[in-house]
Structure 1
Amino acid sequence: MKWKAALSLIICITSFAYSQKIDEESAIKKLLEKESATWRAKDVEGHKKCWHIQPYSRILVSLPNGQTIDVPPTAMQNEKPESMGNGGFAVNSNYKMSINKNNAWVSHEELSTDAEGKRTWSYEIRLLEKIKGQWKLVGQSLHIYKKE
């Protein structure tokens, strides 16, 4: 009888831990999709809410021609609509995550389509922290490998 109680307890704890991980993954994906959508919509305030700049924050972008852009992280908090995206949409896929308490890193692929229908393919690595119970981006590395 004791082993049944122990087994039930183990199953309950495992189920709770697994469902909590799934909830965290869903929250992170939702944030990344929001960040992408607010950028394309020139939604300065919405985009700003996706970020929490830290002293160690870094944003690196590599372009298909080999050029690398080191974007000042403060740009995410001081965006001007004219420097943001130009409409369209993006689809993220192939998510891989490591979540450890209040820190996470995520890699994924992104296919962006601008308002004119031109597409851009990238690999992205995102660094996140949970701030006051909400996931926020603190850094990223974007590697654009093909552009129409």
Structure 2
Amino acid sequence: MKFTLLFLVFSISVGYSQTDEELIISLLEKESATWRSGDVKGHANCWAIKPYSRIFVSTSDGNSIDVPPAMMINPPENMMGNGGTSKNSNYKMNISENNAWVSHDEESTSKEGSTNYTYEIRILEKIKGEWKLVGQSIHPRKSE
């Protein structure tokens, strides 16, 4: 009986491979977590900076910031690692071979307890079999 159960569990786990959608969501969750924890190397591993990479951030006062993409892999000291948590929801994506765009809502809570809400657009490419971010756009929204 033990052998049969072990074989069944092994067969299920070997036969399971994550879909592109699951891999992308996992990458986006990792990217959010590594930013907040200050894991520069882990965060950089989520990105592939290309000559066409762009990062646009809208501010709540109506302005916008064109963030240099290199900041995603080599941020200024003290920019990352401020703690807090985030929760992504309402994922919508279009995956076409090695390219994808994803929109989602994010709820970010600082370690002090204040919460910000954003709409986010993420642009990804599959490079050497792994999904990487190449661009993004972030826009504030009102709480739900």
User: TM-score category by the smaller chain?
Assistant: 0.7 to 0.9
Q: Which amino acid aligns with 2:106?
A: E
Match of 1:104 among 88, 100, 106: 100
Q: Which amino acid aligns with 1:134?
A: E
Q: Quote the Cα distance in structure 2 between the aligned partners of 1:36 and 1:45.
A: 13
Q: Which has more radius of gyration?
A: 1
2:46 aligned residue: 50
Q: Is the 1:43–1:81 contact (alpha carbons within 8 Å) kept by the matching residues of 2?
A: no
Structure 1: gaps (5+ residues) = 1-18
- The answer on 1:144 being equivalent to 2:140 is yes
Q: Quote the Cα distance in structure 2 between the aligned partners of 1:42 and 1:144.
A: 23
Secondary structure of the 1:37 match is: helix
Could you list the runs of 4 or more consecutive aligned residues of structure 1 that deviate by over 6 angstroms after TM superposition?
A: none
Secondary structure of the 1:82 match is: coil
CA deviation map 1:102-135 (0-9, x unaligned): 0000000000001011000000000000011000
Q: Is the 1:103–1:129 contact (alpha carbons within 8 Å) kept by the matching residues of 2?
A: yes
CA deviation map 1:75-128 (0-9, x unaligned): 112113401251011000000000000000000000000101100000000000
Q: Quote the Cα distance in structure 2 between the aligned partners of 1:133 and 1:115.
A: 35
- The answer on 1:24 being equivalent to 2:16 is no
Size of the alignment, in residue pairs?
Answer: 128
Q: Percent identity?
A: 60
Query: Which runs of structure 2 are paired with 1:101-140 in the superposition (5 Å)?
Result: 101-140=97-136
Q: Quote the Cα distance in structure 2 between the aligned partners of 1:144 and 1:81.
A: 25
TM-score (norm 2): 0.84
Larger proportion of helix:
1
Q: Is the 1:122–1:142 contact (alpha carbons within 8 Å) kept by the matching residues of 2?
A: yes
Q: Quote the Cα distance in structure 2 between the aligned partners of 1:96 and 1:33.
A: 15
Q: Give the superposed CA RMSD.
A: 1.6
Q: Quote the Cα distance in structure 2 between the aligned partners of 1:144 and 1:107.
A: 13
